[in-house]
């Protein structure tokens, strides 16, 4: 097929996004569910980055310089 | 002052002060203290990697133009690469920021490193905002007409008119990325100049 492709529009999104956003509400705090999921994933990534040892440097007491 | 004929020459003075601030072994070190071997120290570099992809895909979008990025599969792909590297850029930057916050990385004369990070963050938000205005679709029209009221409420609307597509595009592809680029270079040079901040345990009671 030449010219303008419609393929990108025929693909389905991984998650059905064709509805109004759902909002979470705690008192004054209001955040969309999608944004809350992203913030949650970032917090998990942060905690993993602090907790998981860096490869090749398992011994935390080592005072050596790389 | 030395007795060389170049003693008052500004290029010589600049070179000498640059060499003092960043001797080659400080600028491009071969090793780092052992406490740097942690995943949290990778997030500054990840932010730079995402920025690199943003700039590279942005160049392609600028070369090919809106008709291409709206109507061809390759254009969609590059446009999506541009957007998703921005999402990763911000996520990496904020995780980097959390890391530096909890280790109070502004200690020991490093306040300019932190401050240059803060300014980069703010300018990055402005860059992303003008990017949404540069999409040339209904989404960008909607964002512009909503944002104009907010910007007008600050009194800045006359200078920074979000309904002026040409102005927003110029800010997005020249002024703001240039600002982010210069600040990132400055930020990383400051890290090299000061050296990585030692953990609390290393500074509290002397050597250990
Ligand atoms: C475009 C965004 C940014 C880039 C590309 C970037 C890049 C980097 C890199 C490569 C490092 C050294 C490696 C590391 O520790 O991760 C670093 C260190 C640092 N960054 Fe950033 N950064 C950015 C934004 C920020 C922000 C928003 C803040 C805080 C508000 C920040 C605060 C710091 C501090 C305080 C250090 C020095 C840590 C030390 O001396 O030990 N940065 N940055």
Q: The complex's ipTM?
A: 0.86
Number of other residues whose CB lies within 10 A of the CB of residue B75:
20
**Going from the N-terminus, what domains does chain B have, and what CATH number goes with each?**
36-52+85-206 (1.20.810.10)
How far apart, in whole angstroms, are the C-alpha atoms of residue A39 and residue A55? 26
Number of other residues whose CB lies within 10 A of the CB of residue B49:
15
* pLDDT for res B96: 98
* Residue for token pair 């569910």: A33
Residue of B83, B102, B94, B160 whose CA lies nearest to B121? B94
List of chain A residues whose C-beta atoms are within 8 Å of the C-beta of residue B42: 49
User: Does residue B16 register a pLDDT over 80?
Assistant: yes
Q: How far is A29 from chain B (nearest CA, A)?
A: 20
- Give the CA dihedral B157, B119, B100, B198, nearest 10 degrees: -170
Which tokens sit at A33?
Answer: 């569910």
| Residues in the ligand 1 pocket, defined by CB under 6 Å | B 41, 43-45, 47-48, 51, 93, 96-97, 100, 105-106, 110, 113-114, 117-118, 120-121, 184, 187-188, 191, 194, 196-197
User: Does residue A60 register a pLDDT over 90?
Assistant: no
Q: What is the mean pLDDT of residues A5-10?
A: 55
How far apart, in whole angstroms, are the C-alpha atoms of residue B141 and residue B1? 61
* Tens digits of residue pLDDT in B87-125: 999 999 999 999 999 999 999 999 999 999 999 999 999
Which tokens sit at B29?
Answer: 């070190």
Q: For the purposes of burial, counting CB atoms within 10 Å of the CB of B155, is it exposed (0-12), middle (13-18) or buried (19 or more)?
A: exposed
């Amino acid at each position: 097929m030449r010219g303008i492709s419609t393929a990108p529009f025929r693909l389905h999104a991984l998650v059905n996004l064709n509805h109004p956003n759902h909002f979470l509400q705690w008192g004054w705090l209001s955040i969309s569910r999608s944004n809350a999921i992203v913030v949650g994933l970032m917090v998990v990534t942060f905690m993993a980055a602090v907790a998981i040892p860096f490869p090749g440097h398992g011994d935390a007491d080592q005072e050596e310089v790389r | 002052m030395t007795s060389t004929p170049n003693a008052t020459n500004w290029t010589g003075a600049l070179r000498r002060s640059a060499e003092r601030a960043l001797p080659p072994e400080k600028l491009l070190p071969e090793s780092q203290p052992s406490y740097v071997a942690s995943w949290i120290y990778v997030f500054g570099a990840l932010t730079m990697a995402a920025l690199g992809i943003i700039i590279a895909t942005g160049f392609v979008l600028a070369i090919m133009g809106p008709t291409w990025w709206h109507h061809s599969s390759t254009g969609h792909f590059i446009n999506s690469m541009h957007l998703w590297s921005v999402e990763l850029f911000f996520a990496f930057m904020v995780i980097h920021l959390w890391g530096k916050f909890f280790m109070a990385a502004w200690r020991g004369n490093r306040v300019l490193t932190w401050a240059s990070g803060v300014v980069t963050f703010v300018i990055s938000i402005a860059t992303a905002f003008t990017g949404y205005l540069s999409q040339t679709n209904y989404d960008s029209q909607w964002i512009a007409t909503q944002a104009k009221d907010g910007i007008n409420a600050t009194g800045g609307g006359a200078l920074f008119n979000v309904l002026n597509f040409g102005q927003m595009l110029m800010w997005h592809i020249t002024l703001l990325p240039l600002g982010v680029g210069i600040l990132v270079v400055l930020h990383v040079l400051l890290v090299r100049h000061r050296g990585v901040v030692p953990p609390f345990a290393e500074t509290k009671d002397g050597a250990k």
